[in-house]
Amino acid sequence: MLKGIKVGTKEIEVNMLQYANDTLFLCEANTQNILGIKCILKCFELVVGLKINFIKRKIGGLKVGEDIIQRYSEMFNCDVMHLPFIYLGMPIGGISRRFVLWREVVDKIKKRLARWKGKYLSFVGKVCLLKYVITTLPLYYMSFFKMPASVQIEIKKIQKDFLLGWGSEGRKITWVKWDNICKSKEIGG
């Protein structure tokens, strides 16, 4: 009923990805596949007794004309999805080498390191916050994309500013080199 797309060097056919209650159909842009998806969704409704949420449903395409996607969206009675889009918190279709894709991660780090936290935490508290919370935020993105050097520099700058006087006015006094702070305790960090 549904002809998927071929991926990878072995050209494995993939027609659906599922995670929890999300389903992502992948297929060639033709009317037969669109009708196949409609049939699958209708059968799902009849068998399970649940209704498909048309408000959340979207359709999009790669290397497909905008008029074709618009026609298919009318067949499905759903919105058109544009690239990049967010799936499971991850931007899909963006260019991972650009800072724009990583902006959300950098903003989350800044949000977690609010100015009041910097004023009222001890040095050890700041180190714990950086070490166990802030350094883990980019890991999810890094499991899919290579982090650009510009993002790495920006995150290091935010961490350094927070640890060495976040929220204080004027120039900060640096008592220890940042490279020494980043070393493990066993070698003097």
Give, in order, the Cα–Cα distances in Å from 118 to each of 3, 86, 130.
55, 32, 11
Mean pLDDT of the chain: 84
Q: How far apart are CA 50 and CA 91, in angstroms?
A: 29
Whether residues 161 and 110 share a domain: the answer is yes
- Give Rg (Cα) of the chain: 24
Does one domain contain both 146 and 65?
A: no
Residues contacting 43, CB < 8 A, separation 6+: none
Indicate the DSSP class of residue 92.
Answer: E
pTM (predicted TM-score):
0.63
Spatial distance between the Cα atoms of 113 and 156, rounded to a whole number of angstroms: 13
Based on the fold, state whether residues 100 and 26 are members of the same structural domain: no
Q: Which residues face 92 on adjacent strands?
A: 85
Residues 160 and 95 in one domain: yes
Q: Are residues 97 and 164 in the same domain?
A: yes
For 111-154, how does the pLDDT look when each residue is reduced to its tens digit (9 = 90+)?
888 766 667 788 788 888 888 878 888 888 888 888 999 999 99
Residue after which a domain boundary falls, among 37, 63, 82 = 82
100 and 174: one domain? yes
Q: Which of 48, 82, 116 is the last residue of a domain?
A: 82
Q: What confidence score (pLDDT) does residue 167 get? A: 54
98 with 139, same domain: the answer is yes
What is the number of structural domains in the chain?
2
* Residue span of the structural domain in which 27 resides: 5-82
- What's residue 170's pLDDT? 58
Same-domain status, 57 and 10: yes
Domain identity same for 19 and 53: yes
pLDDT at residue number 10: 92
44 and 27 in a single domain? The answer is yes
Domain termination site, one of 82, 112, 133: 82
The verdict on 78 and 165 lying in the same domain is no
Say what the pLDDT of residue 168 is: 56
Q: Which stretches in the chain have pLDDT values below 50?
A: none
Is residue 88 within 8 A of residue 19, CB to CB? The reply is: yes
pLDDT of res. 43? 93
Q: Are residues 94 and 165 in the same domain?
A: yes
